[in-house]
């Protein structure tokens, strides 16, 4: 019997929340997980805001989370989950497989990052490992201290939207900056964004300057392309929004 099997034998039941906007994918994950006697699916969510409500109500041990979600992207959801309930392990399961995106996810607080073509057996193993407090990057398993060392070494070599100071915030963009970036993708001007969010034109300009700097891009178009490339903003979610929240 190997170490993982021994740990499985003595492991408590692991509760899992699945977050993805595709019902068939959610159901497929749930069916695979339900075959295991030590892991149970306690809920499913189709968007980011619903996922946050579910974590508050259900307190899962592990959240399986897509990046490209309606209302809030998976990176935003991960950060809020880890801020509110740091004991929850977040496993990002996404079609957006990119080495810099992996770094971003781990800096945000994810415990693991997986491609959607992962085998059920491998995903089950990851669920058990993150429930035990490990962090998974590719084939590597890390303790918390080892992960911090891995992140710092990779941040130093990062480029593009991840070329940040290792002491900077774990997420490139703040919630307000991400909100403004969504309007940029929709093609709104600074003046239009200011009106929609009920903030000053200068405040929007200041946020835009920060966004361009953090993403290491030259203009709004490059910022929009970056947001779409990494699944932070969905094309289908860039329609009109007559009354966006006026949070500052």
Is 192 found in the same domain as 121?
Answer: no
Is 103 found in the same domain as 7?
Answer: yes
Q: What is the pLDDT of residue 55?
A: 96
pTM above 0.85, yes or no: no
Q: What is the pLDDT of residue 156?
A: 61
Is 221 found in the same domain as 149?
Answer: no
pLDDT confidence tier of residue 163, bands split at 50, 70 and 90: very low
Is 190 found in the same domain as 105?
Answer: no
State mean pLDDT over 94-114: 83
Confirm whether 114 is domain-assigned.
yes
Is 58 found in the same domain as 114?
Answer: yes
Residue-wise pLDDT for 32-90, tens only, equals 999 999 999 999 999 988 999 999 999 999 999 998 887 788 888 998 899 899 999 99
Whether the predicted pLDDT of 239 surpasses 70: no
Q: Which CATH number is 191's domain given?
A: 1.10.10.10
Whether the predicted pLDDT of 225 surpasses 50: yes
Q: What is the pLDDT of residue 236?
A: 58
Q: What range defines the domain where residue 110 resides? A: 3-155
Confirm whether 19 is domain-assigned.
yes
Q: What is the pLDDT of residue 85?
A: 93
Q: What is the pLDDT of residue 174?
A: 74
- Hunting for tokens 């959610």 — which residue is that? 26
Q: Name 114's bridge partners.
A: 93
Is 222 found in the same domain as 140?
Answer: no
Is 18 found in the same domain as 72?
Answer: yes
Q: What is the pLDDT of residue 151?
A: 78
Whether the predicted pLDDT of 170 surpasses 60: no
């Amino acid at each position: 019997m190997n170490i993982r099997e021994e740990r499985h034998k003595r492991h408590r039941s692991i509760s899992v929340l699945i977050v993805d906007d595709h019902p068939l994918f959610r159901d497929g994950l749930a069916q695979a997980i339900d075959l295991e006697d030590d892991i149970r699916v306690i809920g499913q969510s189709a968007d980011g805001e619903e996922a946050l409500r579910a974590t508050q109500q259900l307190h899962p041990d592990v959240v399986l989370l897509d990046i490209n979600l309606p209302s809030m992207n998976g990176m935003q959801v991960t950060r809020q989950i880890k801020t509110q309930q740091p004991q929850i392990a977040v496993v990002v399961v996404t079609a957006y497989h990119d080495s810099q995106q992996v770094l971003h996810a781990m800096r945000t607080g994810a415990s693991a990052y997986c491609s959607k073509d992962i085998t059920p057996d491998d995903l089950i193993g990851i669920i058990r490992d993150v429930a035990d407090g490990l962090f998974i990057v590719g084939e590597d398993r890390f303790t918390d201290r080892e992960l911090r060392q891995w992140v710092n070494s990779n941040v130093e070599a990062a480029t593009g939207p991840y070329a940040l100071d290792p002491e900077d915030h774990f997420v490139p963009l703040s919630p307000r900056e991400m909100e403004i970036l969504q309007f940029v993708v929709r093609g709104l001007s600074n003046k239009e964004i200011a009106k929609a969010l009920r903030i000053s034109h200068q405040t929007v300009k200041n946020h835009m300057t920060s966004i361009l700097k953090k993403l290491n891009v030259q203009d709004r178009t490059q910022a929009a392309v970056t947001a779409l490339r990494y699944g932070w903003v969905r094309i289908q979610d860039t329609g009109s929004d007559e009354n966006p929240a006026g949070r500052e």
